[in-house]
Amino acid sequence: MKYLFILFIITLIACNPKKEDELSADYFSETVQYKQIEGIDADLLSLDVYFNSMTQIKKPVVIWVHGGGWSIGDKASQIDNKVNLFQTLDYVFVSVNYRLSPFPYELNNSDRVRYPDHNTDVADAIRWVVDHIDQYGGDPYRMVLMGHSAGAHLVALTGTNASFLTNVGLNLANIKGIAAIDTEGYDVLDQVQDNSDLYINAFGTNEDENIQASPIYNIQSGVSYPKFFIAKRGTFLRLAKANAFIDKLEQNGASVWQVDGSIYTHSKINEAIGAPNETLITNALVDFFQECFN
Mean per-residue pLDDT over the chain, rounded? 93
Domain span including residue 39: 4-12+24-293
pTM of the model: 0.92
Residue 12 confidence (pLDDT) above 60: no
Q: Estimate to the nearest angstrom the gap between the alpha carbon of 223 and the chain centroid.
A: 21
Residue 236 CA to residue 228 CA, distance in Å, equals: 21
Residue 131 lies in a domain: yes
Residue 260 lies in a domain: yes
Contacts of 119 (CB under 8 A, 6+ apart): 154, 157, 158, 161, 164, 213
pLDDT digits 0-9 by tens, 75-95: 999 999 999 999 999 999 999
Residue 220 lies in a domain: yes
Question: What one-letter code names the amino acid at 96?
Answer: V
Strands 138-148 and 59-65, bridge-based pairing: parallel
Q: pLDDT value at position 53?
A: 75
Band of the pLDDT at 22, cuts 50, 70, 90? low
Q: pLDDT value at position 81?
A: 98
Q: pLDDT value at position 23?
A: 56
Say how many CA atoms lie within 13 Å of 80 toward its Cβ: 12
Residue 25 confidence (pLDDT) above 90: no
Residue 17 lies in a domain: no
Residue 18 lies in a domain: no
pLDDT digits 0-9 by tens, 183-195: 999 999 999 999 9
Q: pLDDT value at position 21?
A: 41
Count: domains in the chain: 1
Residue 207 lies in a domain: yes
pLDDT digits 0-9 by tens, 216-246: 999 999 999 999 999 999 999 999 999 999 9
Residue 223 CA to residue 252 CA, distance in Å, equals: 8
Classify residue 101 by burial, with Cβ atoms within 10 Å: 0-12, 13-18, 19+: buried
Question: What one-letter code names the amino acid at 72?
Answer: I
Residue 73 lies in a domain: yes
Residue 91 lies in a domain: yes
First-to-last C-alpha distance (Å) of the chain = 48
Instruction: Read off the CATH number of the domain in which 118 is found.
Output: 3.40.50.1820
What is the arithmetic mean of pLDDT over 50-63? Answer: 90
